[in-house]
Structure 1
Amino acid sequence: MEKQRNVLQVNGLNVAVKSAQGMLPLVQNLQFELKPGKILGLVGESGSGKTITSMALLQLLNQKTMNVEGSIQLHGRELNGLKEKEMRGIRGKDIGFIMQNPMNAFTPVYTIGNQFVETIRIHTKLSKKQAIDLAIASLEKMNLQEPSKIMKMYPFQLSGGMLQRVMIAISMCLRPSVVIADEPTTALDVTTQLQVLRELDRLRTECGTAILLISHDLGVISELADEVAVMQKGRIVEKADVYRLFDHPQHDYTKKLLQARPVLSVNEELSKLVI
């Protein structure tokens, strides 16, 4: 059986920022790959370089203040160094992006429908009516009630959980090869978190999308990821299959992360309820 080709291949990725002291390294020598239909979890404490990594992959860092070196290949095509116009054609169509704060993803003065339809029409040759139909169908798949009504609403009229699902619908409607999800469940209630995670799982299963799931929530990572890469101070210090990493962590930092998880003793809690 032929080995599946990686959708995204990252080799020797280095990101540095200009400072008064010279170039300050933020991310150093990252190596990882995304496979079709698989989820790679990227974990680490705040400031470890997770979001900088995602911004580098999308070529969204300011070139005047940031220096990005190394190789980022999507289906064998080098992304690092591409012109902005070419990257705009890739973002949204080939690489979807789910932000940490859904409010930041939408322009407050335009309706959801206006922004959804514009995204579709930028990347396809669909008519306005076809784009509207696709947008409504995509919202329905996210289990959002009355999608036609949502299309006419403004971002501030939707809850954080609804906006997050709208953002996933927009990210996935063009069936991108890769989705980068940066803390997609932060600031959501537990029920909505579960819905969002189920949608990500469904989309990778149905569409074969490769997902980079960035999170500091080890519960989310253990639930969804196939492989896990652990970041510390801009470096990947350990990378392994999710079961192996959680059951047999090798690096001291990984062990500390796992030990820091809140643990509820079920027997202890149940004993308190027994009269």
Structure 2
Amino acid sequence: MGTEQSNVLQVRDLQVQVKTKNGAATLVEDIHFELNRGEVLGLVGESGCGKTVTSMSILQLLNRKTTTIEGSILLQGRELNGLREKDMREVRGKDIAFIMQNPMNAFTPVFTIGHQFIETIRSHTKWNKKQATELAVEAMHHVNLSDPVKLLRCYPFQLSGGMLQRVMIAIASCLHPAVIIADEPTTALDVNNQKNVLYHLDKVRSEYGSAILLISHDLGVIAEMADHVVVMEKGRIVEKADVFQLFDHPQHEYTKKLLNARSIMHLDETAVHLA
């Protein structure tokens, strides 16, 4: 990857409203940020602050009958907001990929993992079934899944949540999209597999230049992975900063509260007795 960085995602003046029986309610507003090639942008904030709504609006996955999305969402210079669903399906998976928070909802239960993985690859390439299968097997090896050939023959209910999460990450990264949106990608994983998944995401971004929008409640993951951080509160961005600046010198009171809320183990020194 060259040293030159190019802008791959630009979000400007994003506002999302949902229709209710009492009128329109604003979910997020005045959202501005951009993502450069090979960069990891962390998106943090408490539950309900609008992180997932922001990501779903970028992917154009919100119900168009009940929600209104205003503003500009540019992916490699192409406007996504308002794009026809048929055109958007061609973009998703190839140019922009999504790692969902709940892996159980990501797969159709009546088709095997292999069918869904291979069809995803073939829908965006001209490869035959054998070539797509080989790529799927390789991608599953990368996320620490043993015996991927056997796993491809399994149905989603036969895999644990953690395994499904890793399969989903493999699908998202295998075609080296310009942007990967990862919504709590390590939630269902144990510590060892968390490390492997984060390593693989970092490898994808460093080798292929994929930019990653990393949504996480785990500030440790953000501190380790992100280059820059966006902090959201009640549907608005309250702070944007370099990851070192944000953790060492937070400016906004809400950011300070988030950082102070991190789990800290307090050791009662009076209770410690060394033999």
Quick check: 2:5–2:38 contact (8 Å CA) kept in 1? no
The secondary structure found in structure 2 opposite 1:7 is strand
CA RMSD of aligned residues (A): 1.8
In 2 relative to 1, CA 273–91 (structure 1 residues): closer, same or farther, beyond 3 Å? Answer: farther
Residue in structure 1 matched with residue 38 of structure 2 by the alignment:
37
In 2 relative to 1, CA 219–129 (structure 1 residues): closer, same or farther, beyond 3 Å? Answer: same
Matches within 5 A, 1:1-275: 4-265=5-266, 272=272, 274-275=274-275
In 2 relative to 1, CA 256–138 (structure 1 residues): closer, same or farther, beyond 3 Å? Answer: same
Larger deviation, residues 61-70 vs 1-10: 1-10
Quick check: 2:60–2:88 contact (8 Å CA) kept in 1? yes
The 2-side partners of 1:265 and 1:197 are apart by 28
The 1-side partners of 2:262 and 2:144 are apart by 31
Quick check: 2:176–2:208 contact (8 Å CA) kept in 1? yes
User: Which stretches in structure 1 are left out of the alignment for 5+ residues?
Assistant: none
Larger deviation, residues 154-163 vs 75-84: 154-163
Output one character per residue of 1:75-117: Cα deviation in whole Å (capped at 9) or x when no partner.
1111001000000000000001000111111111111111111
Runs of 4+ in 1 over 4 A off after TM superposition: none
Larger deviation, residues 189-198 vs 30-39: 189-198
The 2-side partners of 1:85 and 1:106 are apart by 20
Shift of 1:161: 1.8
The 1-side partners of 2:67 and 2:256 are apart by 32
The 1-side partners of 2:142 and 2:170 are apart by 8
| TM-score for the superposition, normalised by structure 2 | 0.95
In 2 relative to 1, CA 2–159 (structure 1 residues): closer, same or farther, beyond 3 Å? Answer: closer
Identical columns (%):
65
Output one character per residue of 1:233-270: Cα deviation in whole Å (capped at 9) or x when no partner.
0000000000000010000000011111111257x67x
The secondary structure found in structure 1 opposite 2:272 is helix
Q: Which amino acid aligns with 1:272?
A: V
The 1-side partners of 2:243 and 2:81 are apart by 29
The 1-side partners of 2:236 and 2:273 are apart by 46
Output one character per residue of 1:33-54: Cα deviation in whole Å (capped at 9) or x when no partner.
1111110000000000000001
Shift of 1:190: 2.1
Larger deviation, residues 226-235 vs 132-141: 132-141
In 2 relative to 1, CA 272–148 (structure 1 residues): closer, same or farther, beyond 3 Å? Answer: same
Quick check: 2:144–2:193 contact (8 Å CA) kept in 1? no
User: Which stretches in structure 2 are left out of the alignment for 5+ residues?
Assistant: none
The 2-side partners of 1:207 and 1:39 are apart by 13
